[in-house]
């Protein structure tokens, strides 16, 4: 069984393009260019989330599956680490939007109070709003996927058990993952009349359950079957072309979502076959800050667009390509600042506090058991 290198930079870079795809999906509506008349590619940007879900399963299996097989997987430490990774920025974006709503009210700028329902705040703070507890769009819309990710983290031991039970049978595991995707798709259609990739605020958790497993399955597939460099390169080229074609022509939602799996698999294979040690570059850094990009892009655009339109009167109902690109550059700069000054420091602090608490708790438990 062959293993992947610790560092998979191509998958990190893919995170940026997935996040950017989602950005243009949300930002294209006021764009002066009617891009949807030319291609469905931007309208299909919502599938960047499906790429994230499959990537998440793949990467977490890559990091933790071997430790679980050797009995060294520490679930409490895993949860602390994942909480530290996603929660500070999640709460910060809620606070940012609350301040924006207050500022709009004080300045008399039109805004929709229904987009900030106070009744949904508890579910948002607990990161369970995409579990059916806050089914209406509100606050930071994209954070529904963070709620779904949180569910996958909590269920991660069950995913690991399935992967270990099917050790050496990755094709069966992949078949089960795809079958579960189709099963959940049927469930979502029966409940809401929409395909599974349409699941967002209203039970978006259903969307990640099979896609996370697909990511784990293709990781297992890669551990069992290694592609040579030429095959990996050809496979990636074909996967990318087919994926872009499926988005351009707006194929069936389920097909587009599932086509993300071969794209991720072949990219990981290219990293395995890399002849040089991976180096840091600007695109890789943008991949590292992709969580900030994803979480900030809606609040940033909402605030910037309303300031330019309602406060300064610089734009009308639409925005030019140049102005859109300027806003994108400013949003990327803000995402970098958030990553460096909020994400990384808070992650280290929470992990340090959490690990210290966990060590003390375990030491007290051992002391009590010895005293008994």
Q: Is residue 3 in a domain? A: no
Give the range among 58-72, 96-110, 123-137, 336-350 with minimum mean pLDDT: 96-110
347: which 2 tokens? 């992650």
Q: Is residue 4 in a domain? A: no
Say what the pTM is: 0.95
For 146-184, the pLDDT digits (tens) are 999 999 999 999 999 999 999 989 999 999 999 999 999
Q: Is residue 89 in a domain? A: yes
Q: Is residue 340 in a domain? A: yes
The answer, yes or no, to whether residue 1 has pLDDT greater than 60, is no
Residue 106, domain extent = 9-371
245: which 2 tokens? 């074609």
All residues at 6 or more sequence positions from 352 whose CB lies less than 8 Å from its CB, including other chains: none
Q: Is residue 31 in a domain? A: yes
Burial class (CB in 10 A: 0-12, 13-18, 19+), 146: buried
For 232-279, the pLDDT digits (tens) are 999 999 999 999 999 999 999 999 999 999 999 999 999 998 877 667
The answer, yes or no, to whether residue 139 has pLDDT greater than 90, is no
Residue closest to 65 by CA, chosen among 145, 135, 167, 141: 167
The reported pLDDT for the residue numbered 116 is 81
Q: Is residue 29 in a domain? A: yes
**What is the CA angle 338-27-142, rounded to 5?**
55
For 182-200, the pLDDT digits (tens) are 999 999 999 999 999 999 9
The reported pLDDT for the residue numbered 277 is 67
CB count within 10 Å of CB 57 equals 28
Domain count, the chain: 1
Q: How far apart are CA 135 and CA 202, in angstroms?
A: 4
Q: Is residue 1 in a domain? A: no
The answer, yes or no, to whether residue 5 has pLDDT greater than 60, is yes
Q: How far apart are CA 330 and CA 327, in angstroms?
A: 5
Q: Is residue 357 in a domain? A: yes
Please report which confidence band the pLDDT of residue 308 belongs to, taking 50, 70 and 90 as the band edges: confident
All residues at 6 or more sequence positions from 121 whose CB lies less than 8 Å from its CB, including other chains: 94, 139
The reported pLDDT for the residue numbered 197 is 97
């Amino acid at each position: 069984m062959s293993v992947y290198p610790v560092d998979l930079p191509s998958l990190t870079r893919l995170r940026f393009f997935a996040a950017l795809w989602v950005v243009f999906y949300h930002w294209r509506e006021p764009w002066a260019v009617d891009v949807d008349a030319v291609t469905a590619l931007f309208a299909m940007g919502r599938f960047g989330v499906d790429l994230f879900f499959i990537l998440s399963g793949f990467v977490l299996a890559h990091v933790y599956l071997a430790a679980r097989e050797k009995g060294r997987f520490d679930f409490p430490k895993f949860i602390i680490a994942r909480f530290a990774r996603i929660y500070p920025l999640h709460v910060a974006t809620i606070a940012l939007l609350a301040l924006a709503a207050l500022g709009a009210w004080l300045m008399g700028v039109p805004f929709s109070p229904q987009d900030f329902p106070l009744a949904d705040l508890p579910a948002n703070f607990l990161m369970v709003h995409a579990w059916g507890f806050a089914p209406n769009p509100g606050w930071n819309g994209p954070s529904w996927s963070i709620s779904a990710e949180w569910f996958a983290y909590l269920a991660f031991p069950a995913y690991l058990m399935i992967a270990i039970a099917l050790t050496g049978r990755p094709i069966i595991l992949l078949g089960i993952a795809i079958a579960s995707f189709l099963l959940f798709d049927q469930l979502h259609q029966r409940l809401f009349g929409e395909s599974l990739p349409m699941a967002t605020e209203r039970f978006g958790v259903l969307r990640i359950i099979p896609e996370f497993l697909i990511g784990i399955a293709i990781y297992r597939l890669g551990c069992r079957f290694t592609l040579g460099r030429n095959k990996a390169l050809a496979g990636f080229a074909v996967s990318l072309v087919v994926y872009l074609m499926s988005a351009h022509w707006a194929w069936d939602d389920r097909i587009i979502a599932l086509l993300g799996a071969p794209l991720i698999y072949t990219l990981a294979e290219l990293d395995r076959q890399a002849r040089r040690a991976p180096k840091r570059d600007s695109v890789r850094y943008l991949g590292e800050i992709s969580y900030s990009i994803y979480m900030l892009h809606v609040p940033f655009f909402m605030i910037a667009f309303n300031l330019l339109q309602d406060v300064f009167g610089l734009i009308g109902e639409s925005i030019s390509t140049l102005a859109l690109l300027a806003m994108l550059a400013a949003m990327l700069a803000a995402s970098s600042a958030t990553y460096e000054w909020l994400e990384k420091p808070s992650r280290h602090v929470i992990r340090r506090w959490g690990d210290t608490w966990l060590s003390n708790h375990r030491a007290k438990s051992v002391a009590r058991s010895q005293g008994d």
